[in-house]
Each structure stands twice: as C-alpha cells, then as structure tokens.
Chains A and B, each alone.
Chain A
Amino acid sequence: MRPLIHLRNVWKVYHLGDVEVRALRGVSLDVRAGEFLAIVGASGSGKSTCMNLIGCLDQPTRGIYRLGDADVSTLSVNERAAIRSRRIGFVFQNFNLLGRSTALENVALPMIYADVPFAEQRRRARELLAAVGLGAREQHMPSQLSGGQQQRVAIARALANGPSLLLADEPTGNLDTESSTEIMELFLRLRRERRLTIVVVTHEPHIADYTERIVTFRDGRIVSDEPQAPSRHATQAVRA
C-alpha cells in the first residue's frame, strides 16, 4: 500500500538576510494511513518546518513530497489551499480561534471555504462540538472557555471538512496536566472513530508516549524513527 505521507530527501533552505538557514537537510519519511505519530526534537531541530511542509503551508526547496496521490512540491498556492481545506486539519499550541466568533462559528469556518451550504455547516458544527464534549457551549466566545475547552473547539474545527490527516503542533503546550490528558485521550478516541492519521509535534515525552511511533529530529535531520507500543501507563504517568 502506498503511504499517505511520502517525503524523499527533502530540503528546506531559508535566507535570512545574508545568512542561509538549512532548516531541513535531506529528510525522508513515510507515514501510512491511520498511523499515530509523534515528531520530537529540540526547538530549531526542524520539526515545525517539517510539520508546515506536511501541512501544505509551505513547499520544499528540494526533494519530493507526496500527500496521497498529490505531488505537493508542484502545486500552486490555491491548489495547496484546496488540499488544506479538504484533507488536512490543524491544531495549534495557542488554539488560534477567532476571538470575536462563537464556538459554533469557529467550527464552521473551514466549511465556509469549502462551499458547504449554510444549514449543513450548522448541522455539522453542532455534531462536531457534541463529539468533543462541548454541545452545551455552542454560543460561547473563546474568551468564555477554558484552555482545554478552546483546544477542543479547535479540534472540532480541524475535523470540519472530514480530513484524513490531523496535524497538531504542540497541542498541549499551553494546557495543564489534566487538560493535556483529556486532549490526548480525545485524539485517541477520534482516531479510532474516524480512522484518522494523526501527527503530533511535541517536546514532552509523556505526550509522545501516547503514540505508536516516535520520529526524532536534530539539526534538520531525522536521527531516530522507532515504533513503540502505545503505552497504557502513559495515562497513569500523566496523572501521577
């Protein structure tokens, strides 16, 4: 079976003034559909850059990136936007909800850009908020919600157009331990229910422990890529 994510010898080079920054130096990675994967590494190791590439927010300087059947490295700005719209959901460290919109409107936002009819937007947004346990908070503004609740709204938004890939960049970075556990459990449940492929970028080992595979970045290269048994004790470890 072809992998969902296929990176081959990918380079990403920035120019900051006269300084050349090699954020990725020949990264190769395959992720099969349905995998739950953690990308770990120190800050500046290239893990966020890699995540942006996988999320089609950016394009590689060199190398091949295929997402499913699409060769992302050849796509235009709007073609990549279309892929983000239909096939990828993003979850950010700082939630990135629209502050002046209700929880329901935030969840409906991606559907507006996917030309979903208004009534259908409402219906699906309600369903998704209920699925993340916020059915009673539809009309709340982000400022009226706790951090964990905001992140759950963000997850519901990421699922709005039924993507196959969920990308989470430090999803628990701004949350307390209890909320972190809730969010990771939610990822596990959603993955099971919706057959999602989930990639989590994190620097917290106990978050990585929830996943089946840990890819470690250092200086723009993958230095280790190891499967692991998703530990049940992860839950206990967090709680302890």
Chain B
Amino acid sequence: MSLLWMTVVTALRALRRNVLRSTLTMLGVIIGVAAVLTMVSIGRGANAAVQRQIQSLGNNLLMIIPGATTANGVHSGSGAAMSLTMADATAITKECPAVADVAWAKRQVVQVVYGNQNWATAAHGVPPSYLSLREWALSAGRSFDQRDDAGANAVAVLGQTVVDQLFEPGEDPIGATIRVKNVPFTVIGVLARKGQTAWGQDQDDVVLMPFLTAERRVLGTKILGTVDMIVVSTTAADALPKVEEQVSRLLHERHRIPPGQDDDFTVRDLNEIAEASKKAREVMTNLLLSVASVSLLVGGIGIMNIMLVSVTERTREIGVRLAVGARTGHILLQFLVEATALSLVGGAAGLLLGIAATRLIAYLAAWPTLLSVPAAAGAFLVAGAVGIFFGFYPARRAAQLDPIAALRYE
C-alpha cells in the first residue's frame, strides 16, 4: 500500500515538475476524450429526438395507403387511387389476429374560417378510435364519440397550430363555431401539441371531425366508404412484420390481386421510417467516434514518446533506485503509474472539455445533446488503458536498465 502510494506521489511530482511538457503530452488524450464525449452526447441527443418523434406518431403502427408506388411499371403517386375502403378496415379488425386496433381517415386540404381569420389546413375525417390509436391526448374539451360519428354531427377537434392561427391568444376555442368549406362546425376539443414528424411535417396543423361527417357533409366522395389511409396498431413491436404480412394477404384476397401483379396499396411501417433516420445518424456518430479514437491513439503515442524521454533523463535516478534494492517490478510499476497518471489526468481534463463543448454546441447550434455517464466513464477508462498500453514499453525499458550503467550515466 505504502509502495503504491509513494509511487503515485512520485508520479504526480514528476508530472508537476514539467507542467508545460505534461500538458502538451496530454493534449492528444484530452482532445480524444473530449471529442468522444461530445460525439456521443450529440448522437444520443439526436437519437432521443428521433425517439420522441416515433412516440409522437403512436407506438407500433402500420399505415396502409391506396395506390402502389408503381403500377405495371408506371410510377403513380401513392394515394392516387381510391382502392381502400372502410370495409377493408373492418375486415382487418376481424381477420388479422395480431392486430390490436384499426382506424382510418379521409383527408383533404380545406379552408377554415373563424370570424375574419382563415387558414388552410388538413381536414381529417376519422373514427373515434383514431385518437387513442395515435396516443393523442386532448389539451381541452372532449373528443367526438360513436354517436357523433353515427349522426354525422358537425363537431370538430382542432390541432394546436389551427387554434393559434384562428383564435386570439387566451381566447377559448371550445364551443366556438368555425366554418369548414362553408359548413359550420362546433369546436368541442383541442389536441395536445405533438410537434413535427421525423420527416418534418407539422402534426398539429389539422382539423379532426367524425368520418361520416367528413364524407357526407364536407369532403364529399365519388364512392362511398373509400378512405385515404388505414392505420393499424399491434400489440407489440415485434408483431409488426406478422401484421404486415397478414394485412397484405387479406387485402390481396379482398382486392383479388393475382400473384405477380402489382399491389393497389402500400403498407408502411412508421417505426421503420424513424429507424432509418436513426440509423443514418448512428452511422454519422460512429464515423466521428472513430475519428475521435484516432486522436486517442495519437495521444497514446505522444505519451509513449515523452515517457521514453523521461526514462532517458532519469537514468541515474533509476540506477540509484535499483542500487538501494528496487526490483524490476518496482521500476516498471513506477513508470507505468506515471504514464497512466498522464493519461488519466488528460482524460479528466478531456471530460471537462467535452462537457463544456457539448454545452456550447447545444447553446450555439441548438442541437439536442444528451450527456452520457457510461460514455464518459468509458472514454476515461479507455484513456487509462491507452496510458497503460503505451506506457508499458518505456517502463519495461526503464526496468531492464543495467544498474551499473545507469549509475554511471551522465
């Protein structure tokens, strides 16, 4: 114990003896650790933001939209055809066991007027189950229910963006009458803010109304019962591929699509879209991480270099220590501890610099960042390991010095 303590004290003294040299030696490790910590913080911040966007869509959802991306080799915009119906949706509920819940929507961009304010927004005709499926809470009022839907009542639930555009700040929209495509609607609820999707769409710029109301009184339709979108939820994330397969098979049957012919619908896994963007960020983060690791490596070589110089400078001291009874292990330990102290002090400084850099980036670039304790601990430990690894060769050289030659060294 006293030996190790003395060794550490000796090591710190040796470092303090030449502050400038020690600092320059540590610079590589400092920058490496700081870079690793900053990269991980930015990466984690971005991932957390993506995670929040996934959550805002609703968990474990599949979206089915009409029209294929290609039909007989001709590319057509998805959603162009009117091939999906409410009947498809109810069939999915009945026939696909892995499906938890189903909702559907009819969409159109409409002009909404209140008093002398007007705003172009997306009107969605949806069943009452839509809100629970999207895990969308209300910030005020109530949602419409089965009776509103059955009676095609002119009631609407507004997204926060629409409220902001139509109403004065502080004005209560509940109970107000707005006109959607000139049809008067009573506002019965306001949706909680959800923010943007992963692909940058404002989810709060929306007016929700009962499906039948939309179909019969506002949006109109060529064929009754057609929908622009079916949303399916599953019980668990790992059931998504199974549900996708079940839904596809069912719709093939119902739409009488022979094998080999293009689908007239597209199934989208919303998690997948978010995952893809998360993966892209991960690739970027890993790339930057490997650059940062190179800095750690270079820092280690710097430590090795300066330790070799130190061993040469202190040859006589090593000779004295050997003469008074130090074994090779004692000398090895002393120089290893010195190299490790260099890298650990550098690592600690790197952590402080990394935290400062992370804060600065969060402040200046307004990027979401998230400090990670495991990453900080990991970077610190890697720095220590770099010290041990690159300190070993100089330490072994010191330990293997011949005491007589070392004592005579000038």
B-binding residues in A (CB < 8 A): 52, 55, 57-58, 77-78, 81-82, 84-86, 90, 92, 96-98, 100, 109-110, 112-118, 121, 157, 160-161
Contacts and interface: CB of A to CB of B under 8 A. Distances in A.
Contacts of A157: 324
B327 A117 contact: no
Nearest to A157: B324
Given A52-B404, A118-B5, A121-B2, A81 B325 contact: yes
A92 B153 CA distance: 107
Given A81-B328, A90-B323, A97-B320, 12 more contacts: A77-B328, A82-B325, A84-B325, A96-B316, A96-B323, A98-B317, A100-B13, A100-B17, A109-B321, A109-B324, A114-B325, A115-B3
A160 B324 CA distance: 9
Contacts of A77: 327-328
A117 B324 contact: no
A81 B327 contact: yes
Interface string B305-344: 0000000000011011111111111100000000000000
Given A57-B404, A98-B317, A84 B324 contact: yes
Contacts of A84: 322-325
B403 interface: yes
Contacts of B316: 96
Contacts of B322: 57, 81, 84
A78 B329 contact: yes
Contacts of B404: 52, 57-58
22 contacts: A57-B403, A57-B404, A57-B407, A78-B328, A81-B322, A82-B327, A84-B323, A85-B324, A86-B325, A90-B324, A97-B320, A100-B17, A112-B2, A112-B3, A113-B3, A113-B321, A113-B324, A113-B325, A113-B327, A115-B2, A118-B5, A157-B324
Contacts of A96: 316, 319-320, 323, 407
A54 B172 CA distance: 101
Nearest to B323: A90
Nearest to B399: A77
B360 interface: no
Q: Which of A90, A97, A157, A160 has the most CB of B within 10 A?
A: A90
Interface string B65-90: 00000000000000000000000000
Given A92-B407, A118-B5, A121-B2, A57 B323 contact: yes
Contacts of B17: 100
Q: Which of A77, A115, A116, A157 has the most CB of B within 10 A?
A: A77
Nearest to A169: B407
A16 to B, nearest CB: 12
Nearest to A92: B407
B325 A85 contact: yes
A81 B326 contact: yes
B16 to A, nearest CB: 10
Q: Which 8 A-B pairs have the closest CB atoms?
A: A85-B325, A110-B324, A118-B2, A113-B325, A81-B327, A78-B327, A96-B320, A113-B326
Determine the interface band of chain B, counting residues with CB < 8 A from chain A: 20 to 34
B377 interface: no
Contacts of B324: 84-85, 90, 109-110, 113, 157, 160
Contacts of B330: 113
A57 B326 CA distance: 12
Nearest to A81: B327
Nearest to A167: B323
Contacts of B321: 109, 113
Contacts of A110: 324-325
Contacts of A113: 3, 321, 324-327, 330
Contacts of A121: 2
Interface string B388-408: 000000000000000110010
Q: Which of A96, A116, A160 has the most CB of B within 10 A?
A: A96
B6 interface: yes
Contacts of A57: 322-323, 403-404, 407
Nearest to B9: A105
Interface in B356-410: 403-404, 407
Nearest to A121: B2
Given A112-B2, A118-B5, A161 B325 contact: yes
A118 B7 CA distance: 13
Contacts of A160: 324
A93 B93 CA distance: 98
B324 to A, nearest CB: 4
Nearest to A89: B324
A167 to B, nearest CB: 10
Contacts of A97: 320
Nearest to A48: B404
A77 to B, nearest CB: 6
A205 to B, nearest CB: 25
Nearest to A158: B324
Contacts of B3: 112-113, 115
Contacts of A118: 2, 5
Contacts of B326: 81, 85, 113
A116 B404 CA distance: 26
A107 B32 CA distance: 41
Nearest to A108: B6
Contacts of B5: 118
Contacts of A81: 322, 325-328
Nearest to B6: A112
A55 B403 CA distance: 11
A161 B329 CA distance: 19
Contacts of A78: 327-329
Q: Which of B2, B325, B403 has the most CB of A within 10 A?
A: B325
B291 to A, nearest CB: 39
